[in-house]
Structure 1
Amino acid sequence: MLEELRITGLGVIDDTTLHLTPGMNVITGETGAGKTMVVTGLGLLFGGRADAGRVRADPGRAVVEGRLRLKGSLAGAVATRIVEAGAEVDDDGSVLLSRTVTIEGRSRAHVGGRSMPVSVLSELGENVLAVHGQSDQLRLLRPAEQRAALDRFAGPDHEKLLETYRQAYASWRTVVDDLADRRANARARTQEAELLKLGLDEITRVDPQPNEDDDLRAEVQRLEHAEGLRVAAMQAAVALAGGVEVTEDAPDATQLLGTARRTLEAQAQVDASLGDLAARIEEAATLVGDVSAELSTYLSSLDADPARLEEIYERRAALRGLMRKYADDVDGVIAWADNARTRLAVLDSSDELLEELDKERLRQEALVLDLCGRLTAARQEAAGRFSEAVSVELAGLAMPHARVEVAVVERSDGPGPDGADEVELRLLAHPGAPSLPLQKGASGGELSRVMLAIEVVFAGAGGPPTLVFDEVDAGVGGTAAVEIGKRLARLARTHQVLVVTHLPQVAAFADTHLVVAKDTGGAITTSGVRVVQETDRARELSRMLAGLPDSDLGIAHAEELLAVAGKEKRG
């Protein structure tokens, strides 16, 4: 929902802020006051084409800012897109959007204070706003949107069926594309597979082990310095043995420490501090004993076998040969081999595999075609219900003989991601008239009313939460105008609705009434927007009724109109 819209330097609007509310917001004002600039500003804010001709010479740039409140079913998707673009949603669940256009035609966009491509605003606009007007590219005139809208109208069971179809279609296309690629590139795949097999055979013969190059490097270093290591270990063992030749009968450091401990313990009853020292000596004796044992083991493990050293040299040479070809280290070589095995499975173009894939393709194709048929039947049933509902709405909008049909026709290129159907909304303006696409079968004013009827029928079936109608009441009046007001009010129960109108019968149904007024007091004409309530609102409706805002009769008529509209809304 759009909470606030500020427009600066656009057309006749110098600087004004619109505070918008949930429900139905109506914008009125005299001809030329700048009502259209509000819709133009909304278009700019959501990525519309920038027209430098509408920028005021002073200050030389137009700025449109809007605060978007994210809530409802679309909040998650919109917030995700904002975060993906590099911006953030405020803690209160809102985000500030802005668009700047200079008099030279340069344009900038910001989302959440971060500079963005204008395309990001366009993407957000497709999710949160739909503008219906005589000069707009209407959302529901796009075939893809017509199909999506009909799918939403068809109901939750249909949407579940559509999701099942999309998953089946994606699986089927994966198999089809895989099979086609294997057949079309069989020779290249075979050549690549042969090269991979050669590499795998070479690696398999050597059979490298994880971290083997590091382990062999450490072993070589020990073997090459075996004599120096043996001397060092022997000298340490001699030192622990008391500086004499190491023999079975020679007392070692452990025995000497044991003698010292026992001597101190004998006098510990006289002085307890000697007992503490004895305990510490016992700890030292244990450590020395462990070191002596490990030195003995180390000496027995030293191997200066030249044959083993030569064997390691050869093994390291073989590993280096693999690393030159496949990776920087042994672990990388092992990873290359694993990837090669996986790739070989992908490259398999054997007749047996191709036959299996073809069977799978046929199986999944049958499932896709079955789901396609069910989707088509569901769409045709929904199309009939939708056509009847829209035609009933049109009867109350001064188009009693018009009828909207939904054509569900088979795609010429077979099943696609959304089924095998093309959906097109068509209008029969009167009995005997040809059935034409909406944009060809209706005039500007009629098209706006058709869009209103369609949106009323689609209300509650998803789509953008904010709907804008610009001059939706063109060419109508009297009872038809009241009916338009009723339908907009009904639509406002589930959507935020913004209506630019010149009809008091429509404006009377508003929850918030905004008036665009010109100020001609200065050298340059400017316009501002204000909210009107109670007496001021009745005066505005009186102006719209008879051009006499101060007429007692006109005000009385306006108050009666407000009372009738209020009763209709409550009912």
Structure 2
Amino acid sequence: MLEEIAIENLGVIRAARVPLSEGLTVVTGETGAGKTMVLTGLNLLMGGKADPRSVRPGADRAAVEGRIRVSGHPTVAERVQEAGGELEDDGTVLVLRTIADGRSRAHLGGRAVPQGVLAEIADDLVTVHGQAEQLRLRTSAKQRDALDDFAGPRHQRVLAGYRTAWSERAGLLGQIAESEARAAERAREVELLRIGLEEIERVDPSPGEDAELATLIERLSNAEGLRVAAGEAHQAMAGEDETGSQQNAIALVERARKALEGGASSDPALAELATRFADVGYLINDLATDVAAYLDDLEADPGALEAAHARRADLAGLTRSYGETIDDVLRWASDAGLRLLDLDDGGERLGAMRARVAELDDELERLADLLTQARTTGATELAGSVTTELHGLAMGGAHLEVTVERAEELGPYGADQVTMLLVPHPGAPPRPLGKGASGGELSRVMLALEVALATSPHKTASSDGDNGDGERQDADGVLRRTFVFDEVDAGVGGRAAVEVGRRLARLGRTTQVVIVTHLAQVAAFGDAHLVVTKSTDGDGAEDGMITVTGVREVTGEDRVVELARMLSGQEDSETARQHATELLESSVVGR
């Protein structure tokens, strides 16, 4: 809800602070005092078009600042934060609109934002009904939403179930379309994977086999050189020289060991060296045995070398296609097997998705029938309720028609096309809302609609419509909108004017309502009464004088004086004051 508006240098208003409370706030004042500037300021806060000519003569800039409570409106609060704005600790947000140098600027929660962002949040918070404003229910979709709201919480739950099923169905259809579009691509991928796996299975490589083969081929290719080297090493360690004497490493180490052992009893250090020579002898013996075994195994085998080259060629064919090494090839084969299983399972998933879509189609048809039934019943009730309200608003010959037509195909909100038509007087053809009615009549039609929607018998509201924190709510705990009416009482008077005031007060029980009025019968029903006053100032006009407007709240005797002025033009008339007092008293009883 709107908590207050501060206006500076807008039209005839130099500076004014407009407090706005819950319930019904009435704005009155003499003709030409600048009541419309209050609505102009509100329109600027709500993202309306700025007119540079609205800047007060003599001023460089105009500014309108508003404080809006958004607690209870999570989507609005989220949009503020998305735009970079910050909420106040008390759940309000500051909105600022300035006009200077022929340009307007908008700020939301301390952050500069495009004008359209203000319009977005206003769409969820404020509705202005006036001759120059568009209708809240200007489209068939908005009219359907209004009828759904009138139909109550039970219908809303069915609609929510339908929307959930519709969303799931849409998601599945998108997946099915994507799956079908990629069918040929998947088939090609499956074929390539199978070819690769069959080739790897035929070769049947072992982990690290390519490295082992490289070592084997190198050994077989250099067998003669390796035999010579190993033979010389064995000769040096354990062989005989040309004279038959053993001058090899084993014999020499053994001779050294024995020489040291001869003196070991005389010196422990020498004994330790002899032991170490013994260890060296054992090691050389082991080496000689291993070299001899190597020589026995080392044979030139042209067949084995050819087989190793052939195997290496087979492995090279795999590494060219599936990885740099055989280990890479084996990893590719493992991943390919899993991917193949996933692709082979695609047909089953596709079938399951199609079966689920069929189930959802049946569910949507069932829910759509329930929606149509509830909307058809609600349309009759809403039309009757609005027509009754119109008769009390001096439009006795008018009535509203609400039609629900079933479309051939289901849509996101069912299969219904909702249309609201106004018959302004007997014999006139039904016409869309907003056409065929004057500004004042149109405002009264919208007032009748808003009252009917707010007082729907399908909604169970609490006894006082209060949530315990002073905020007025629907039965579902959602804070209601702010409604602004201009010219709603144009062309009416007497009893009809009283009925207009009574209905505005009734609407104010569950919403915040602001009305600019010139009728005391309407103003008497206000929970708060603001008066726009004008005076002259010698600053800025070419002739040295300029009209300046201020806004003040009136209570008690001051309010009686204002109502008396509205009734007779003479606020000091005792008769007018008595009449004003009677209006205030009767308005309390008449609620």
TM-score range, shorter-chain basis? 0.7 to 0.9
Alpha-carbon contact 1:55-1:103 (below 8 Å) kept: no
Give the 5 Å matches for 1:382-401: 382-401=378-397
Give 3-state SS (helix, strand or coil) of 1:42's partner: helix
Contact 1:130/1:468 (8 A) holds in 2: yes
Q: What is the CA distance between 1:53 and its match in structure 2? A: 2.5
The verdict on how the C-alpha distance between 1:409 and 1:550 changes in structure 2, with shifts beyond 3 A counting, is same
Counterpart position of 1:430 = 425
After TM superposition, the score normalised by the length of structure 2 is 0.70
User: For each residue in 1:455-503, what CA deviation from the matched residue of structure 2 results, as whole angstroms up to 9, or x when unmatched?
Assistant: 1111166684211111110110110000001111111111111010011
Distance 2:105 2:316 in 1: 62
- CA distance in 2 between partners of 1:115 and 1:247 (Å): 93
Superposition deviation, residue 101 in structure 1? 2.5
Question: Residue in 2 aligned with 1:364?
Answer: 360
Q: Distance in 1 between matches of 2:552 and 2:336?
A: 71
Contact 1:53 1:103 in 2 (8 A): no
Shift of 1:564: 1.4
* CA displacement, residues 292-351 of structure 1 (integer Å, 9 cap, x when unaligned): xxxxxxxxxxxxxxxxxxx9xx99998897689xxx9x99999999789767866x5xxx
Aligned to 1:190: 184
Q: Could you say which residue in structure 2 is the equivalent of 1:558?
A: 580
Superimposed CA distance per residue, residues 90-142 of structure 1 (whole angstroms, 9 cap, x where no aligned partner): 111111111223341x2222111112222221121111111111110121223
Distance in 1 (CA, whole Å) between partners of 2:98 and 2:334 is 57
Residues 555 and 154 (structure 1 numbering): CA distance in 2 closer, same or farther, change over 3 Å? same
Q: Which residue of 1 aligns with 2:373?
A: 377
Q: What is the aligned length?
A: 464
CA RMSD in angstroms comes to 3.8
Offset at residue 168 of structure 1 (A) = 2.1
- Report how far residue 166 of structure 1 moved: 1.3
The verdict on how the C-alpha distance between 1:354 and 1:133 changes in structure 2, with shifts beyond 3 A counting, is same
Amino acid at match of 1:455: E
SS at match of 1:135: coil
**Map of 1:29-178 to 2, 5 A cutoff?**
29-72=29-72, 75-104=73-102, 106-178=103-175
Q: Which has the larger radius of gyration?
A: 2
TM-score scaled by structure 1? 0.72
2:15 paired residue number = 15
CA distance in 2, matches of 1:436, 1:554: 42
Q: Distance in 2 between matches of 1:444 and 1:517?
A: 25
Paired position in structure 2 for 1:506: 522
Aligned residue for 1:166, secondary structure, equals helix
Residue in 2 that maps onto 1:234: none
CA distance in 1, matches of 2:91, 2:278: 84
In structure 1, what is the equivalent of residue 488 of structure 2?
472
1:336-375 pair list within 5 angstroms: 360-375=356-371
**Structure 1 residue 441: deviation in Å?**
3.5
AA at the equivalent of 2:454: A
Structure 1 residue runs of 5 or longer lacking an equivalent are 208-212, 214-241, 249-310
Query: C-alpha distance in 2, partners of 1:355/1:339?
Result: 19
Residue 508 (structure 1) shift: 0.7
Matches within 5 A, 1:405-554: 405-411=401-407, 414-459=409-454, 464-522=480-538, 523-554=545-576
Distance 2:109 2:61 in 1: 20
Shift of 1:191: 2.9
Contact 2:197 2:336 in 1 (8 A): no
Deviation at 1:66, TM superposition (A): 0.8
Query: How has the CA–CA distance of structure 1 residues 331 and 140 changed in structure 2, closer, same or farther, with 3 Å as cutoff?
Result: farther
CA distance in 2, matches of 1:436, 1:421: 20
Pair 1:536–1:169, CA change in 2 (3 A):
same
Counterpart-to-counterpart distance in 2, 1:517 and 1:403: 38
- CA pair 354-77 structure 1, distance change in 2 beyond 3 A: closer
Structure 2 Cα separation of the partners of residues 466 and 429 of structure 1:
27
Tell me the residue number matched to 2:297. Answer: none
CA distance in 2, matches of 1:26, 1:91: 29
Q: Aligned-pair distance for 1:363? A: 3.9
Contact residue 134 and residue 448 of structure 1 kept, 8 A? yes
Match of 2:267 in 1: none
Q: Which amino acid aligns with 1:403?
A: H
Task: Map Cα deviations across residues 431-463 of structure 1 (whole Å, 9 max, x no partner).
Answer: 222111111242211111011111111116668
* Structure 2 CA distance for partners of 1:353 and 1:47, relative to 1, 3 Å: same
Do the aligned partners of 1:28 and 1:35 also contact (CA within 8 Å) in 2? yes
Deviation at 1:394, TM superposition (A): 1.0
Residue identity in the other structure for 1:198: L
Seen in structure 2, the aligned counterparts of structure 1 residues 59 and 358 have a Cα distance that, compared at 3 Å, is same
Question: Conserved in 2, the CA contact under 8 Å of 1:485 and 1:506?
Answer: yes
Identity of aligned residues (%): 46
Given the superposition, is the C-alpha separation of residues 393 and 192 from structure 1 closer, same or farther in structure 2, using an over 3 Å criterion? Answer: same
Partner Cα distance (1:492, 1:422) in 2: 30
Indicate whether 1:402 and 2:398 are aligned: yes
For the residue of structure 2 that corresponds to 1:502, the secondary structure is: coil
How many Å apart are 1:55 and its aligned residue? 2.4
Correspondence for 2:27? 27
| C-alpha separation in 2, matches of 1:451 and 1:444 | 11
Residue 11 and residue 181 in structure 1: after superposition, are their counterparts in 2 closer, same or farther (change >3 A)? Answer: same
SS at match of 1:56: coil
Return the alpha-carbon distance in structure 1 between the equivalents of residues 491 and 88 of structure 2.
43
Q: Name the structure 2 match of 1:282.
A: none
- Mean CA deviation greater in 465-474 or 61-70: 61-70
